[in-house]
Amino acid sequence: MEKHNVIIVGSGPAGYTAAIYAARANMKPVMYMGLEPGGQLMQTTDVENYPGYPEGIMGPQMMNDFKAQAERFGTEIRYGMITKVDFSKRPFTLTIDEDKQVQAESVILATGASAKWLGLESEKRLNGRGVSACAVCDGFFYKNTEVAIVGAGDTAAEEALYLSKLCTKVHMFVRRDEMRASKIMQNRVLKTANIEVYWNTETDEVLGKDEVEGVRIVNNKTGEKTEIPVKGFFVAIGHKPNSDVFKDYLEMDDVGYVKTKADSTQTNIEGVFACGDLQDSVFRQAVTAAGTGCMAALEAERFLAEKEII
């Protein structure tokens, strides 16, 4: 069976950064790109908060640049999805597309997380045209306009507060008569003059042909429907880390985020490292993912050197 020093799983900012570092350290990394090559940034338009791009850059272009940089130093990038792993002994075995098996002395997992969506056709159609799952990424584009946000957890509260500083008004839709967010965050939201909370409220439809022009909401107690004109529609109803395939081996929190040691990307299995959104439920930024990708490659290099593999 084919055997490699390090296999990187996932091709977002974390995976590519790990690849750049691993390739430059002569570890001859092999990357499997996964189901969504390029990750969540492939669905974004302008990225303005990644240092080094003073004019901003389109998400897909940025990921192409990451890929080119990883390839320049010799990363072997392959299509394929990891459908099964055996982390019970080294070398680890990974099954690709339920078919081929490869082995690796170390593994860097960077499979990311996926934003949860409401599941409306209009939400999908207008994604990237006013519909977003990341206020920190896209809020700036709606400066001085009215926006809406769905959700009632800490993320929704934090994002509503973030948007309230940029936008003239934030309409916040909460499906129950209470919020799940921590009390302190709820209080901040409720005390902010330009955030209006709509209780027992669900989204019926996002309105607009080519870009978001408004939202139709429905009160789930009375059935009353209301249309509100907004330019931005933010969905903040949680994320799901792409960790199912590792669940038999890796320690995870209740939601499925992979646990790593403090100040490290080391998982509970020596030689298996996790980076990016797969292990970060808090920051979830391209730049923080890239940072942990770098950490994972450096830790994998140290691990392989200690085992006298490289």
294 assigned to active site? no
How far, in Å, CA of 301 to CA of 230, rounded? 49
Alpha-helical segments (H) within 43-141: 59-72, 121-125, 135-138
Q: Of 105 and 138, which has the nearer Cβ to ligand NDP?
A: 138
Question: Which of 46, 137, 275, 280 is labelled catalytic?
Answer: 137
Q: Which residue's CB comes closest to ligand NDP? A: 153
* Long-range CB contacts for residues 138-143, cutoff 8 Å, separation at least 24: 138/44, 138/45, 138/232, 138/234, 139/163, 139/166, 139/167, 139/232, 139/234, 140/48, 140/166, 141/46, 141/232, 142/166, 142/167, 142/231, 142/232, 143/167
Alpha-helical segments (H) within 102-252: 121-125, 135-138, 154-164, 183-191
Q: Of 176 and 259, which has the nearer Cβ to ligand NDP?
A: 176
167 assigned to active site? no
How far, in Å, CA of 292 to CA of 284, rounded? 11
Question: Which of 65, 86, 134, 204 is labelled catalytic?
Answer: 134
Q: Reduced to 3 states, what is the DSSP secondary structure of residue 195?
A: strand
Tokens (6 digits) for 259: 């646990």
Is the separation of the CB atoms in 9 and 108 below 8 Å? Answer: yes
Task: Please report whether residue 238 would count as binding ligand NDP according to CB under 6 A.
Answer: yes
User: Closest separation between CB of residue 240 and ligand NDP, Å?
Assistant: 10
Question: Which member of 93, 103, 219, 281 binds ligand NDP (CB under 6 A)?
Answer: 281
Question: Between the CA of residue 65 and those of 38, 58, 60, what are the distances in Å?
Answer: 10, 11, 9
Question: Which of 46, 86, 99, 138 is labelled catalytic?
Answer: 138
Tell me how many residues contact ligand NDP (CB under 6 A).
16
User: Closest separation between CB of residue 286 and ligand NDP, Å?
Assistant: 17
Q: Of 81 and 161, which has the nearer Cβ to ligand NDP?
A: 161
134 assigned to active site? yes
User: Closest separation between CB of residue 145 and ligand NDP, Å?
Assistant: 22
Sites for ligand NDP among residues 134-153 (CB under 6 A):
150-153
Question: Which member of 58, 237, 298, 310 binds ligand NDP (CB under 6 A)?
Answer: 237
User: Closest separation between CB of residue 18 and ligand NDP, Å?
Assistant: 24
Sites for ligand NDP among residues 151-180 (CB under 6 A):
151-156, 158, 175-176, 180
Task: Please report whether residue 282 would count as binding ligand NDP according to CB under 6 A.
Answer: yes
User: Closest separation between CB of residue 100 and ligand NDP, Å?
Assistant: 35
Task: Please report whether residue 123 would count as binding ligand NDP according to CB under 6 A.
Answer: no
Task: Please report whether residue 23 would count as binding ligand NDP according to CB under 6 A.
Answer: no
How far, in Å, CA of 183 to CA of 190, rounded? 10
Residue from 54, 44, 42 nearest 10 by CA: 42
Alpha-helical segments (H) within 40-192: 59-72, 121-125, 135-138, 154-164, 183-191
User: Closest separation between CB of residue 131 and ligand NDP, Å?
Assistant: 14
Contact positions toward ligand NDP, by CB under 6 A? 118, 150-156, 158, 175-176, 180, 237-238, 281-282
Residues acting as catalytic residues: 134, 137-138
